[in-house]
Structure 1
Amino acid sequence: MARPRSPRLIAVSLAITCALTASACSSASTGAAGSQGDGKGTIEFWSMPFWIGQDDKVQQLVDEFNASQSDVKVNLTQLEWKDGREKIKQAMAAGQGPDVWLMNNGLELDYLKAGSLAPLSDLGYTQADLAKFTDLVKVNEYEDKLYGAPLYFDATVMLYRTDVLEKYGYEKPPATWDELKTTASAITTKSAADGSKISGWQFKGMDDHVNAINSTWESFLCQAGGSLTSPDYTKSTQNTEAGKTTMNYMRSFYQDKTSPVGTSALNGFIDGKVAMFSFYQSVIANVETGGAKTEGKWAVAPMPEGPKSGCSMVGGHSLVANAGSQETKAAGTFMKWLASPERSAQYMDFHAIFPYDPAKVEPAVKAAYDEKTKGDANWTAILEQAGRNTPDLVLQDRHGWSTRWEKQKSAIVAGVNGQSSVDGSLSAIDAEVGKALDAER
């Protein structure tokens, strides 16, 4: 699955660190100002293992790149998800950061405001290169320039147990909020009566992976027509009618015991004890590890549509380059290779969403893309969901995100399970995030 952003990054803002340690984030700390190199040299690449389920694949890709040419050598430092982003931030603040590293789609505002990232146009990307990306690439835009080359996108979708739905008389998955609630409640009730004890639905994040409540909440808020911030990103806007509608809807699953607090959405789904849940589509890799427990017994559907739409949260990862590197040309060469249409088609092996418009890539790549999606109903659902989504929510989330993601973990869970009032939970988020937004200005 796609890993949500670590709360440990709430540490000191990179922009403030740069201001306090004059040379720490300047190009002089890694090379002469404006130096790009001649396109030949050694670059340092720091990454978490983004190939879901195979931690050694990133090193294999780096080795493949190194063997493919002789001008650029890449040294990989592989970090862990639990603290990798924090280590990169600390290294950058100390003037010892990598030339290229992995960052969540949407990028982090501290780096952008500090001028720490090189725009793709300075890394050898032409307008023709940039035109091949889908519109979702705008999640990496800042002040009219693109700063991240997406490896792949994630989109929150719904997963459902076909065997469970069929057992209780449902031939297709729910397509709306009302249908979701009705179907889930019926499965919970009927399965309790026959001794199966299956939860019809579980919200990812109300379980052992509490950080996931952020993407879950923001997806449902979007479907209710809500937003995270005002259009100018200066005000937190969750305590609204859309926010209350969303929380009351989610809360209803626990009030009537359709969903039990604390049951793992993913593990319960694999064991056949949770009929439906939603998360980024790359969680498919985890479901497939269930072997005989899940094989042929589940499928993917677009998100049930809420009062306003069927949108959902966008995730995934991109490559970014250090603006202060002496080797930005070499860095660009590597980024264009690792984030190329050819490699991105390979990332579809773990159900990563292709970041390019298939109609704009080379015929051989399009053929590989078509081969992976052909006749696969799960890919049809994933691509439908991706087509419903826009960059807007991710661009809002960039502002005050570390404060928001930390506060939502406690406030949303407490509001949904009834430990605090709906108004109190949403007001607490707006108050806390509002301070962070004020500090950004």
Structure 2
Amino acid sequence: MKKKGFIYPTVLAMGLSAVLAGCGGSDSGEDSDAISVWAMGEEGKLLNEMTAGYEEETGVKVNVQAIPWDQAYDKLLTAVASGNGPDVLQLGTTWVAEFADAGALLDLTEHMEEYPDFDLENYFEGAQTSMKYDDQIVGIPWYVETRTMYYRTDLLEEVGYSEPPATWDELKDAASKLTESGDNDNVYGLDIDLNDQITPFIFAWQNGFEFDAENPNFDSPEFKGALEYYTSYFEEGISTTSEGIDIVQAFKDGQKPIFFSGPWMINIMNDQAPDLEGKWAVAPMPAQENNLSSIGGANFSVFHNSEKVDEALDFIAYMNEVDTQLEWMEKSNTLPSRLEAWESPELAEDEMYSVFGEQLENTKGAPPVKEWERIAQELLASIERINIGGADLDAEMDEFNSKVKSMLE
């Protein structure tokens, strides 16, 4: 069917490429005629149910190995070191740069003309960042996700908002009024998860920040201004540094009537909070200079020394066909990466999913630098010192920027 026409241990960051020399072939499992696919988490468990169509069409068997996310990074490192990896592997988008830098991912550039479905223009602009490393094409988006704003429509109306807040000023005003309207001290107008490394960068992008890998600029007015806005919610008691009760329960109780999250929360809310039907909705992120959000998800890549490259690419092409992506969405509750899939009624006409489609048009991906995960974790440590330890924001950001410079050197 070929188409024509987390905080990682320090030792892991010491340069993966050195272990690639002299590696053997890829691991295709017990059946030497099959292709092997490594997929992570629940997706790995469900993917086994999606391979029959490819097998019937091509006669090639697919062996899927489901790997828990908390074991995936170490297993991938072992594969890099031994050379015994799969033919196809799923990578979280923030892992792409590190494993591409190690030479673990096959450069697909020479295959792009043969597989027109892989063309970058078929995918959201934000997702295109994760497809590339240096001058190579190293992955094809499988599914995507972004963050939007979940809010209680009924409670916002009570404080004067018949429409969701659309700007930073409106968000601060609405969240402040929601906090003040609560009948106890446990109401926080906006929930910000302090363990979520994405939100600070979303605010920074919205404030006009552009990361400069050659000359790190986390001490810039754009980034500091975003962090001032972010931390002000905690300073003013509009958000809490305490994790507290589960967000679904807090949303139901009105204790946290606004929060940011991904598409997976739609089904969670419908399943766990059916009494809230008609009382909540999702909206695009509020804007400052823009309303950018993050784009994440997972890519399919081919292991650098796969002996079944054609079959691996055919499998990725099959999984990225529009009909297959829509079937996968139904099965896994993840969002299609292909732009064409978003023209389908089940997405375009759905009042919740269509908002995610709108937001996906305005997203940025993590910069393709292999140190990005370490940078993000270091930022969370700085934010904790500001929000909980009372550290000076300007001083923390200056120190953080110095640490990033050292990492990148």
What band does the TM-score fall into relative to the shorter chain?
Answer: 0.7 to 0.9
Match of 1:346 in 2: 327
Pick closer, same or farther for the CA change 1:11–1:63 going to 2, 3 Å: farther
Contact 1:248/1:416 (8 A) holds in 2:
no
What is the CA–CA distance in structure 2 between the aligned matches of 1:61 and 1:125, rounded to whole Å?
26
Pick closer, same or farther for the CA change 1:279–1:323 going to 2, 3 Å: same
1:238 corresponds, among 218, 221, 227, to 218
Match of 2:136 in 1: 145
What is the CA–CA distance in structure 2 between the aligned matches of 1:344 and 1:123, rounded to whole Å?
21
Match of 1:378 in 2: 352
Alignment of 1:317-396 (within 5 A): 317-349=298-330, 352-358=334-340, 369-390=343-364, 393-394=365-366, 396=367
Match of 1:35 in 2: none
**How much does 1:101 deviate?**
0.9
Pick closer, same or farther for the CA change 1:270–1:216 going to 2, 3 Å: farther
What is the CA–CA distance in structure 2 between the aligned matches of 1:420 and 1:382, rounded to whole Å?
36
What is the CA–CA distance in structure 2 between the aligned matches of 1:83 and 1:381, rounded to whole Å?
33
Match of 2:198 in 1: 215
Name whichever of 125-134 and 379-388 sits farther off: 125-134
**SS where residue 336 of structure 2 aligns?**
coil
What's the TM-score once normalised by structure 1's chain length?
Answer: 0.81
Deviations 1:119-167 (A, max 9, x none): 3345576363233334334211123432111112212211111232234
**How much does 1:169 deviate?**
3.5
Match of 1:36 in 2: none
Match of 2:123 in 1: 133
Match of 1:298 in 2: 280
> Number of residue pairs matched?
393
**How much does 1:111 deviate?**
2.2
What is the CA–CA distance in structure 2 between the aligned matches of 1:248 and 1:175, rounded to whole Å?
19
Contact 2:37/2:88 (8 A) holds in 1:
yes
Amino acid at match of 1:147: V
Pick closer, same or farther for the CA change 1:243–1:134 going to 2, 3 Å: closer
RMSD: 2.6
Deviations 1:46-70 (A, max 9, x none): 111354xxx742221134533x235
- Between the aligned residues of both structures, percent identity stands at 23
Name whichever of 297-306 and 126-135 sits farther off: 126-135
2:189 corresponds, among 177, 193, 200, to 200
1:173 corresponds, among 164, 167, 180, to 164
What is the CA–CA distance in structure 1 between the aligned matches of 2:90 and 2:217, rounded to whole Å?
30
Amino acid at match of 2:68: E
Pick closer, same or farther for the CA change 1:178–1:355 going to 2, 3 Å: same
**How much does 1:219 deviate?**
0.4
**SS where residue 327 of structure 2 aligns?**
helix
Alignment of 1:254-265 (within 5 A): 254-263=234-243
Amino acid at match of 1:89: L
What is the CA–CA distance in structure 2 between the aligned matches of 1:159 and 1:153, rounded to whole Å?
18
2:256 corresponds, among 274, 277, 281, to 274
What is the CA–CA distance in structure 2 between the aligned matches of 1:337 and 1:427, rounded to whole Å?
48
2:228 corresponds, among 237, 248, 257, to 248
**SS where residue 263 of structure 1 aligns?**
coil
**How much does 1:375 deviate?**
3.3
What is the CA–CA distance in structure 2 between the aligned matches of 1:126 and 1:107, rounded to whole Å?
26
**SS where residue 51 of structure 2 aligns?**
helix
**How much does 1:389 deviate?**
2.1
What is the CA–CA distance in structure 1 between the aligned matches of 2:229 and 2:294, rounded to whole Å?
18
Structure 1, unaligned runs of 5 or more: 1-5, 32-39, 359-364
Match of 1:82 in 2: 70
What is the CA–CA distance in structure 2 between the aligned matches of 1:297 and 1:172, rounded to whole Å?
13
What is the CA–CA distance in structure 2 between the aligned matches of 1:405 and 1:88, rounded to whole Å?
21
Alignment of 1:19-168 (within 5 A): 19-20=18-19, 22-24=21-23, 29-30=24-25, 41-49=33-41, 51=43, 56-66=45-55, 68-69=56-57, 71-105=59-93, 107-122=95-110, 126=114, 128-131=116-119, 132-139=122-129, 140-168=131-159
Contact 1:254/1:417 (8 A) holds in 2:
no
Pick closer, same or farther for the CA change 1:299–1:258 going to 2, 3 Å: same
Contact 1:9/1:86 (8 A) holds in 2:
no
**SS where residue 147 of structure 2 aligns?**
strand
What is the CA–CA distance in structure 1 between the aligned matches of 2:185 and 2:327, rounded to whole Å?
40
Deviations 1:331-390 (A, max 9, x none): 1111111232222223444654432232xxxxxx67xx4221243222332222111224
Deviations 1:58-98 (A, max 9, x none): 221134533x2353211111111122122112222122211
Alignment of 1:307-326 (within 5 A): 308-326=289-307
Pick closer, same or farther for the CA change 1:49–1:203 going to 2, 3 Å: same
Pick closer, same or farther for the CA change 1:153–1:323 going to 2, 3 Å: same
Amino acid at match of 1:355: S
Deviations 1:166-222 (A, max 9, x none): 343321110001100110011111113xx4943210112x2xxx1x1x111110111
Amino acid at match of 2:269: V
Match of 1:37 in 2: none
Amino acid at match of 1:44: S
**How much does 1:262 deviate?**
1.4
Pick closer, same or farther for the CA change 1:287–1:431 going to 2, 3 Å: farther
